[in-house]
Amino acid sequence: MEGGSTERIVIYSSDLTEPQGIIKISKTLLDILACPACKGEIEHDEAAQKLVCVGECQRRYPIREGIPVMLIDEAEMPDE
C-alpha cells in the first residue's frame, strides 16, 4: 500500500516521568519556549515541577500530567 502509514504511536503518562514522578523537559524544548507574557527565556525547576520565566515577569508555569501549561492566566506570579 502506498501513501501514509497507519501505525500509531501511543505514549503513556508513565513514559513521561522518571520513577520518582519527576518530569524531564529537554534542553531543545526549553531553547524554543518563551514566556507568553514577556517573551523571556524559560528554565525548568525540576523540584517544583514548574517552568520559570527568567525574563522580566518571573512567572511560574505549571506542568500537569507531563504537559507544560503555558497560559498567562494559569501562571503564578513571583510574589505568590
pLDDT tens-digit series, residues 9-57:
544 444 444 445 677 888 898 999 999 999 999 999 988 999 999 999 9
pTM: 0.70
Kindly write down the DSSP assignment for every residue of 2-40, as one continuous string: -S---------GGGGB-TTS-B---HHHHHH-B-TTT--
* Cell, residue 60: 511560574
Q: Is the pLDDT of residue 5 over 70?
A: no
pLDDT at 65: 85
In 3D, which of 35, 68, 67, 72 has the Cα closest to residue 54? 35
Q: Are 42 and 25 in contact (CB under 8 A)?
A: no
Q: Which CATH architecture has domain 13-74?
A: Single Sheet (2.20)
pLDDT tens-digit series, residues 45-61:
988 999 999 999 999 99
φ, ψ for residue 64, nearest 5 deg:
-120, 125
Q: Is the pLDDT of residue 74 over 50?
A: yes
